[in-house]
């Protein structure tokens, strides 16, 4: 008989095995640990349910076998009882036959005695008849005296009675002989019946011996089954308890499964969405890789163009240097001293300017205030902030403010000293320098 810890170990091993199988299948199918764990958790109640159904089938088969054995035992007991009844009936029949044979033998002996008596009586009558018949005389002798009529009549009557008695005795003998023949035939039939009954009795005894052996075997089987049933009762009770526990666990697992199904469905949907996103990202990546290759080709072309532009810039800077030198020779003597520093300071100032700054300075030189506002709005700045940025760069390179701006009136003017410098032909040169700075 199993120990109480055996069902717990079996359940633990079964749960661990089913969880491992479900986890492995989940990893093979989903390639994700979360989906694999959920699959393993779902397979645990399925495994318990399968084990419960198998255990219930084993119990039903055992019950069916026990019921079949009980039915067979009852059938054999009924057959044994019927055989006992048949044997008793055969024994009763045998006793009746033996009694009939004994009575027939007594009747035969009585008839034989009667026949012997009749034979003896017949012999006596014949002897008396021979004595009564008159003796024969030879012819040479003389005839006897005539008999007495009365004596002769008495003799005739006596002879008639003797003949009648003899005939009656012969008739009785014939009747007794026929009865004896009939009894002998009946005796032979009874002997045959006795032999058949003895043979049947022998067969019945053999059958009874076999049945007794079967009964002993069945008694041993019943004893073994009862002992097995006694031993199985704790196991059956344990199985019933285990069945109840498994049913409760199955109900709990089904509830847990019902609770986890929405999450599993949501995870599955998220997985599908992630797969779709991954496919979309792969498509986008392929598109971007193609675009990257195209950009690399464009980059190579731009580098070639950049080399050409750098060569053109070097040539242009050479031209600018030449033009600055020519501009220095063309300046009037009354201009401030800062005019002679234009080649270095203004060159540095131009390098600090952005595209927005250059566009704003060009608009200021053209006295286009609307364009200045448009440029500052496109850069996300106010006009005051744009002017402050330009003045800060001018202070760094030129050493003085370049522009004056009144926030109240919105009036924008240039520093008088720089206004003189940036007038006339110098303004045209400065505008060309600003345009060349856009290529830098």
Q: Do residues 342 and 240 share a domain?
A: no
Contacts of 438 (CB under 8 A, 6+ apart): 355, 358
DSSP 340: G
What pLDDT shows up at residue 18? 83
Q: Do residues 70 and 189 share a domain?
A: yes
What pLDDT shows up at residue 339? 41
pLDDT band for 177, please (50, 70, 90 cuts): confident
The Cα 27–Cα 35 span in angstroms is: 8
Q: Is residue 340 part of a domain?
A: yes
Q: Do residues 364 and 255 share a domain?
A: no
Number of compact structural domains in the chain: 2
pLDDT digits (tens, 9 = 90+) for 36-53: 788 878 887 777 778 778
What pLDDT shows up at residue 104? 77
Q: Do residues 209 and 340 share a domain?
A: no
Low-confidence winner among 60-64, 105-109, 215-219, 339-343 (lowest mean pLDDT):
339-343
Average pLDDT estimate for 81-104: 81
What pLDDT shows up at residue 332? 43
Q: Is residue 75 part of a domain?
A: yes
Average pLDDT estimate for 313-319: 78
Mean pLDDT of the chain: 77
The Cα 241–Cα 4 span in angstroms is: 11
Burial (CB < 10 A; 0-12, 13-18, 19+), residue 297, is exposed
What pLDDT shows up at residue 333? 40
Q: Do residues 29 and 116 share a domain?
A: yes
Dihedrals φ, ψ of 54, to 5°? -65, -45
Q: Is residue 300 part of a domain?
A: no
Tokens 């005894």, located at residue: 205
Q: Do residues 249 and 384 share a domain?
A: no
The Cα 412–Cα 370 span in angstroms is: 12
Q: Do residues 91 and 192 share a domain?
A: yes
Q: Is residue 324 part of a domain?
A: no
Reported pTM? 0.28
Instruction: Extract the tokens encoding 117.
Output: 């008596």
Average pLDDT estimate for 389-393: 89
Average pLDDT estimate for 255-272: 82
Q: Could you say which of 273, 297, 321 is where a domain stops?
A: 273
Contacts of 424 (CB under 8 A, 6+ apart): none
- Measured from the Cβ of residue 327, the count of other Cβ atoms closer than 10 Å reads 17
Domain membership of residue 266 as a residue range: 1-134+151-273
Q: Do residues 36 and 125 share a domain?
A: yes
Burial (CB < 10 A; 0-12, 13-18, 19+), residue 86, is middle
pLDDT of residue 145 exceeding 70, the answer is no
Q: Is residue 286 part of a domain?
A: no
Identify the CATH number of the domain in which residue 257 sits. 1.10.287
Q: Is residue 305 part of a domain?
A: no
Which among 432, 167, 242, 239 is positioned nearest to 323, based on CA atoms?
432
pLDDT digits (tens, 9 = 90+) for 347-389: 788 888 888 888 888 888 888 888 988 988 998 988 888 889 9
What pLDDT shows up at residue 438? 54
Q: Do residues 176 and 62 share a domain?
A: yes
Contacts of 345 (CB under 8 A, 6+ apart): 338, 397, 398, 399
């Amino acid at each position: 008989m199993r120990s109480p810890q055996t069902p717990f170990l079996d359940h633990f091993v079964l749960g661990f095995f089913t969880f491992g199988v479900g986890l492995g299948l989940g990893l093979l199918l989903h390639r994700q640990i979360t989906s694999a764990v959920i699959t393993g958790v779902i397979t645990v109640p399925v495994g318990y349910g399968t084990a419960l159904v198998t255990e219930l089938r084993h119990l039903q088969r055992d019950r069916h076998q026990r019921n079949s054995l009980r039915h067979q035992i009852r059938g054999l007991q009924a057959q044994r009882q019927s055989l006992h009844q048949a044997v008793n009936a055969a024994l009763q029949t045998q006793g009746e036959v033996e009694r009939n044979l004994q009575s027939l033998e007594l009747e035969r002996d009585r008839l034989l005695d009667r026949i012997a008596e009749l034979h003896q009586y017949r012999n006596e009558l014949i002897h008396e008849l021979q004595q009564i018949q008159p003796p024969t005389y030879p012819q040479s002798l003389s005839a006897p005296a005539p008999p007495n009529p009365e004596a002769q009549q008495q003799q005739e009557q006596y002879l008639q009675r003797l003949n009648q008695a003899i005939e009656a005795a012969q008739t009785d003998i014939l009747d007794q002989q026929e009865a004896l023949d009939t009894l002998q035939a009946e005796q032979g039939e009874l002997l045959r019946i006795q032999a058949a009954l003895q043979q049947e009795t022998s067969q019945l005894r053999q059958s009874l011996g076999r049945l007794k052996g079967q009964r002993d075997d069945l008694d041993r089987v019943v004893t073994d089954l009862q002992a097995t049933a006694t031993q199985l009762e704790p196991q059956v009770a344990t199985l019933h308890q285990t069945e109840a526990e498994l049913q409760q666990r199955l109900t709990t697992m089904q509830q847990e499964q019902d609770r986890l199904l929405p999450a599993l469905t949501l995870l599955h949907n998220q997985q599908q969405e992630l797969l779709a996103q991954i496919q979309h990202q792969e498509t986008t990546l392929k598109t971007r890789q193609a675009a990257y290759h195209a950009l690399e080709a464009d980059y190579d072309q731009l580098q070639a163009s950049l080399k050409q532009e750098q060569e053109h810039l070097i040539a242009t800077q050479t031209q600018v240097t030449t033009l600055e030198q020519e501009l220095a020779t063309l300046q009037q003597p009354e201009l401030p001293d800062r005019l002679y520093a234009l080649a270095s300071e203004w060159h540095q100032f131009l390098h600090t300017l952005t595209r927005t700054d250059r566009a704003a300075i060009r608009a200021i030189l053209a006295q286009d205030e609307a364009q200045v506002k448009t440029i500052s709005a496109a850069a996300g700045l106010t006009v005051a902030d744009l002017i402050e940025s330009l003045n800060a760069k001018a202070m760094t390179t030129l050493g003085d403010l370049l522009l004056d701006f009144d926030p109240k009136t919105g009036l924008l003017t240039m520093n008088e000293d720089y206004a003189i410098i940036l007038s006339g032909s110098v303004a045209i040169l400065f505008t060309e320098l600003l345009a060349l700075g856009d290529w830098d």
